[in-house]
Structure formats: structure tokens, C-alpha cells
């Protein structure tokens, strides 16, 4: 993604919007609110007025800048290809630099990452206390480091265990940070703490260098995108979806257990629009015997965002955004909705409409675990 070192360049990018309003069709926050200032075009109009000194920073303006989920759905349809999410990020950085943002709840998130090392503010724990004694049998060093990410380590350890089981079964050489993982820091940059992110990521990089790690293998697409695109030094990063594809091609992963079901895949923003990984998860799913892959009405580049990035403080918008995805899956007749993103999984799984629909949510990690017979049964989340 293009970054803007100076505000004049940013202003020129804002001016590329010719106000056609096509982004109204795709912006999920606009769909929720029906209000132009919560749409890409409206947000750009506000930022132009701010740059022209025709507008003061107010709580409403901060709300419009922070309610954008940075999903980039608008950019897919935008005829001149305005970098809306890039502009919003820089606007947030400017507001933070001047002490005017972010909203209180996100300041808390920043404190949690910088002080505790994760967005939840939990104290860092050795991975054997979270994932069990198998961690102790891993080598102390390996060129490949599997990074589970905060959501799995602190909320869904069984999925992190499924991942490690998949990789171990394929006899792939790897280890983990046994002493405990720190958050990738991606949220710091998203909410405007650019300087804090830069120093945080340098410290993380030093740790990876000291450990002589050649490649990070991430389960979380936001970790993947952050390590790959935002860290100051290039890192070899692979999402587990890509690793599983390689292992499948090499015959090291074999799907020997069928799942006779209609399955849809939900493209997360960070794996899809941010990283261009669309076909690989579908290839894995289609290789499981018995599965009929069906597409959501909004998939691949046009997929719906689950709203996870604005969960705090816009919980209601996030809930609606997740519901639209589940409703879509139900309408196309999917029995399972698979995601390769722990955060999307959390938002979909915890949606209140899950109680009343026939769709089951699972992660790709668990589908691979089930289809290779590593997991005893298909996990059921309802």
C-alpha cells in the first residue's frame, strides 16, 4: 500500500476523489448508518475541508475517521482507485500526533499493547501454559517460527493447537517463542500510533534476528500483513494457508477424511484485499473429499468485512457486519462457513444470530486438522 510521507501528497490523493459516490455501494459502515459522512466519499470531503482549514477537529469528525474499518471495500469499486484506507490511516496519525485522538477505548488498546504486549492487556505467558506440554518437545531453535497471534493464544487455544498439530504431522521443521509471544503491533499503526509502532516493531525485529529466524509462519492474517508490509525491515513471512498449499503439493498433507457438506469460504480483509490471497484457501477446501465449495454472494475482492477492526468502540456496527456474512452464507446454502482469520472467526462465532441459523463456523486450521484425521472430529461452533 502507498504511504504518504507528507501531507501535500496526501492532499493530492484526497483530491483524486471525484465524488461519484460509487463507494456507497460497498462501504459497510455506510450500509449500517445510511449517513454520507460515514462513507468513503463523506470522509474524504471532511478531510479536504480540514486540510483547507474550513473545519475544526470535533468529536464528530474523530468519530467519522475512527469508524472506518479500513476494510478497503470502497477501493475495489472506486474508479480512480483512491487509496481511502491509506488516507484514513495518515489522518489518524496526524490526529494522534496532535493529541486529539484516538477515542478513549483505543487509547486503552495502545496501552495494553505497549505495556502488556497484547491487545487484551493479559500478561505474557509461556506457551506451554497456554498450549500444553507439547511445546516443551519443540526444538529451542529453528529457522521457522510459528506465530499464533493474540486472538488464538488468549481466546481459542484449541485452534492454535490444531495449527501446531497440522504442521507437526507434515513433519515440517518449526518452533515457537516458548517464552511467550507479543502482539505484532498492527493495531498500533491502524489507530494512528505510527511512532509507537515503529519503535515497537524494531524491538520485535531485534528479537527475531537474535533468534536467527528465517521465516515467520502466521495464523492471523493481520499479523501476516503487518509483518510483511509494515515492519521496517523485510521479513520472510508465510501465512499457514500458503504453507498448507505447499505441503499439499508435496504430498506431506493428505486429506484422508471426507466432509460431505456445502462449504463457503469467507475472505478476511487482511488475507484477501490486503495480501491478495484468494485462491489458495479455496484450493485447500476443494481438495477435501466430499466438500462442495459454494461462493458467498460477496466474496474474494468484494468480500464483506466482519467489522473486527472497529469492534472497539463500535460493537454494534461490528455485530451487524458479521451478521451480513452469516446471512449470506445461509442464503447460498452453506452448511459450514470457513475462515482463515482468527479475528473473523471470533466475530462470526460470537454473533447472536448464530443461535438461529444452520451455518457452522470453523477455521481453515481445524478443517485441515479434521480432513487429515489429526483432530478426532469436526469442531462444532454454533
Query: Which residues of the shown chain bind ligand SF4 in the complex (CB under 6 A)?
Result: 17-23, 26-29, 40-41, 43-44, 68-74, 77-80, 82, 84-85
- Kindly state the smallest distance separating residue 112's Cβ from ligand SF4, in Å: 24
CB nearer ligand SF4, residue 147 or residue 314: 314
CB proximity list for 73: less than 8 A, separation 6 or greater: 26, 27, 28, 273, 302, 303, 304, 305
Nearest distance, CB of residue 312 and ligand SF4, angstroms = 15
Nearest-approach distance from CB 157 to ligand SF4, in angstroms? 31
Closest separation in Å from C-beta 278 to ligand SF4: 18
Please, which residues have CB within 8 angstroms of residue 330's CB and are 6 or more apart in sequence? 357, 358, 359
Residue closer to ligand SF4 by CB (options 273, 282) is 273
Closest C-alpha to 285, from 250, 336, 233, 322: 336
**Which of residues 89 and 282 has its CB atom nearest to ligand SF4 in the complex?**
89
Supply the minimum distance, in Å, between the C-beta of residue 21 and ligand SF4: 5
Give the nearest distance from C-beta 261 to ligand SF4 in angstroms. 31
What's the min distance (Å) between Cβ of 348 and ligand SF4? 18
Which residues does 151 contact at the CB level (< 8 Å), separation at least 6?
220, 342, 343, 345, 346
Residue number with CB closer to ligand SF4 (20 or 49) = 20
Say how far apart CA 112 and CA 102 lie, in whole Å: 14
The smaller minimum CB distance to ligand SF4, of residues 19 and 97, is found at: 19
If DSSP codes are grouped into helix, strand and coil, which group holds residue 317? helix
- Closer CB to ligand SF4, 26 or 161, in the complex: 26
Q: How far is C-alpha 54 from the geometric centre of its chain's CA atoms? A: 35
Instruction: Extract long-range pairs of 187-191: CB within 8 Å, 24+ residues apart.
Output: 187/109, 187/110, 187/113, 187/119, 187/309, 188/110, 188/113, 188/114, 189/89, 189/226, 189/230, 190/70, 190/89, 190/92, 190/309, 191/66, 191/92, 191/96, 191/102, 191/106, 191/109, 191/110
Residue 208 CB, nearest distance to ligand SF4 (Å)? 30
- Closer of 73 and 267 to ligand SF4 (Cβ): 73
Q: What's the CA dihedral at 39, 44, 45, 47 to 10 degrees?
A: 130
Helix (H, G, I), strand (E, B) or coil at 109: helix
With respect to ligand SF4, which residue has the nearer C-beta, 230 or 365? 230
Amino acid at each position: 500500500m502507498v504511504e504518504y510521507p507528507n501531507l501535500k501528497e496526501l492532499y493530492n490523493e484526497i483530491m483524486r476523489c471525484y465524488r461519484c459516490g460509487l463507494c456507497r455501494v460497498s462501504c459497510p459502515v455506510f450500509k449500517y448508518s445510511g449517513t454520507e459522512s460515514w462513507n468513503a466519499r463523506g470522509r474524504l470531503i471532511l478531510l479536504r475541508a480540514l486540510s483547507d482549514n474550513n473545519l475544526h477537529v470535533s468529536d464528530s469528525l474523530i468519530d467519522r475517521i475512527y469508524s472506518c474499518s479500513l476494510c478497503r471495500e470502497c477501493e475495489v469499486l472506486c474508479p480512480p482507485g483512491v487509496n481511502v484506507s491509506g488516507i484514513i490511516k495518515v489522518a489518524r496519525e496526524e490526529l494522534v500526533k496532535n493529541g486529539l485522538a484516538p477515542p478513549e477505548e483505543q487509547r486503552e488498546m495502545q496501552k495494553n499493547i505497549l505495556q502488556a504486549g497484547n491487545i487484551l492487556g493479559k500478561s505474557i505467558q509461556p506457551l506451554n501454559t497456554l498450549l500444553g506440554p507439547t511445546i516443551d518437545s519443540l526444538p529451542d531453535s529453528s529457522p521457522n517460527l510459528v506465530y499464533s497471534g493474540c486472538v488464538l493464544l488468549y481466546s481459542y487455544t484449541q485452534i492454535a493447537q490444531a495449527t501446531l498439530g497440522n504442521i507437526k504431522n507434515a513433519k515440517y521443521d518449526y518452533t515457537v517463542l516458548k517464552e511467550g509471544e507479543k502482539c505484532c503491533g498492527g493495531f498500533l499503526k491502524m489507530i494512528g500510533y505510527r511512532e509507537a509502532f515503529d519503535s515497537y516493531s524494531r524491538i520485535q525485529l531485534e528479537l527475531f534476528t537474535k533468534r536467527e529466524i528465517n521465516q515467520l509462519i502466521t495464523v492471523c492474517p493481520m499479523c501476516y500483513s503487518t509483518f510483511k508490509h509494515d515492519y521496517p525491515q523485510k521479513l520472510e513471512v508465510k501465512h499457514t494457508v500458503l504453507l498448507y498449499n505447499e505441503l499439499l503439493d508435496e504430498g506431506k498433507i493428505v486429506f484422508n477424511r471426507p466432509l460431505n457438506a456445502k462449504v463457503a469460504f469467507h475472505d478476511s480483509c487482511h488475507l484477501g484485499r490486503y495480501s491478495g490471497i484468494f485462491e489458495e484457501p479455496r484450493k485447500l477446501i476443494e481438495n477435501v473429499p466430499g466438500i462442495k465449495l459454494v461462493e458467498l454472494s460477496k466474496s474474494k475482492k468484494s468480500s464483506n468485512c466482519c467489522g473486527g477492526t472497529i469492534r472497539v468502540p463500535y460493537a454494534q456496527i461490528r455485530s451487524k457486519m458479521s451478521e451480513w456474512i452469516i446471512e449470506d452464507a445461509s442464503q447460498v446454502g452453506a452448511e459450514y462457513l470457513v475462515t482463515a482469520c482468527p479475528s473473523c472467526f471470533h466475530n462470526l462465532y460470537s454473533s447472536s444470530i448464530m443461535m438461529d441459523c444452520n451455518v457452522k463456523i470453523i477455521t481453515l486450521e481445524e478443517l485441515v486438522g479434521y480432513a487429515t484425521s489429526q483432530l478426532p472430529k469436526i469442531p462444532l461452533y454454533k
